[in-house]
Amino acid sequence: MPFYSHQLPNGLQLIGETSPAARSVAVGFFVRTGSRDEQPQESGVSHFLEHMVFKGTDRRSAWDVNRDFDRIGANYNAYTSEENTVYYANVLPEYLPEAVDILTDILRPSLRPDDFDMEKKVILEEIEMYEDQPGSVAWDRSRRLYFDSHPLGNSVLGTLQSISALTREQMQAYFQRRYAANNIVVAAAGRFDWEPFVQLIASACSAWDHAPVGRDQRVEWRGKPGFHVLTRDKVQQEYVMFISAGPPSTSRLRYAADVLAIALGDYSGSRLYWALVDPGYADSADCTYVENDGTGTVYVSISCEPNNTVPNIDRAGEVLKDIQNHGITAAELQSAKNKCLSRVVRGNERPMGRMQAIAAAWTYTGEYRDVDTELAHYEAVTLHDIRDYLEAYPIDRDTVVAFGPLTEVRGVKGELI
């Protein structure tokens, strides 16, 4: 499938992969900004701004935005992470011009005061909703403890206090600072013609401002090993997180880290599954490798009945120690690689998945990787690569966080939250 790239004079980067056999086209605007790019006094502004983008422009009201997307049968949405805010639409090829028109329009929002005040209430309700979900709380608080002063520990949603205090003027300043043309990648994949697509984007976006945009602390982070207990009496289960360092998105070891995470903590047929879930000791036990800009992280998470917490921490610790010392078997390696290969193929079969994949690769590395190249990287992972990864990023050097009803675990008193 042909790949194209083009940069407008204002720095806006366009990339695309065309597929005449596809029956749809996906387009997305990847703004390289998220919670890690926020100042403490504006915590949560990236996610709040994502909501405000859909509230209307000089040309469209919020109702118009939704109506215009619906008229062309678009599958559209947005999301915010620690590092990116993404706006996308998946449409029939003949409606690509309309989709681009809507997306480019809303990416220059009005930020009307009345809309700001109304949406602030929605965000505050969303924060309270997530506070009622123990798994989300465990994930969020554990990341904060692991990253400590590093901005990757910033909350995507922000807090009730930060959102309540946030002003429209602060949001406008953040928008001007982070939504510069040179901080955005526009990606498309599926059935479309490249040159007309470039003309569509250039016509709509050439006047967008260029600005100096940076990102702090793009260095590897290794949290301090430690044990933390967070207590909330209304939670029924205990959630335990083991967090350790991993390779950044640009490292050759990222593929070994991904393969090992599958071998260690896939939802079935992994070391943690057989050690904790299959015998009934835990309801869930999994492992996730997350690659970030400048650093990476490996998360092992367990949920179980409170009285099984301590023995499960020991069981998980033994699994991690054994893999750190002895690695995995050739059979485990092949099984994990097969799962990775299947995931890559299935995820890239549709234009939406392909658009996300090429945009993610370009945003983090400035490179294009076709499906065959990505598959080859996973195929090439060896037991020696796994050992290199484990030597560079020991998985048994963990920050461990227990969250749930227990007021004390292993002599460590719980902090009420």
Which of 319, 364, 330 has the alpha carbon at shortest distance from 259? 330
Integer Cα distance of 91 and 95 in angstroms: 6
Distances (CA, A) of 222 to 74, 188, 204, 316, 392: 42, 36, 43, 20, 11
Q: Are 185 and 355 in contact (CB under 8 A)?
A: no
- In the chain, the amino acid numbered 304 is C
Catalytic residue among 17, 42, 50, 332: 50
**Catalytic site includes residue 50:** yes
Which of 355, 263, 333, 251 has the alpha carbon at shortest distance from 297? 251
Mention every residue, 6+ apart, whose C-beta is less than 8 A from residue 390: 260, 323, 324, 327
Run of H or E including 142: helix 134-147
Q: Are 49 and 175 in contact (CB under 8 A)?
A: yes
158: left (phi over 0), alpha (psi -120 to 50) or beta: left
Query: What Rg, from alpha-carbon coordinates, does the chain have?
Result: 22
Integer Cα distance of 108 and 389 in angstroms: 43
Neighbouring C-alpha atoms within 13 Å toward the C-beta of 134: 20
Residue with tokens 């309540």: 164
Give the E-state strand segments of 113-220 in sequence order: 184-190
Integer Cα distance of 268 and 258 in angstroms: 16
**Catalytic site includes residue 119:** yes
Catalytic residue among 119, 238, 291, 332: 119
Which of 170, 154, 195 has the alpha carbon at shortest distance from 111? 170
Q: Which residues are marked as active site?
A: 50, 119
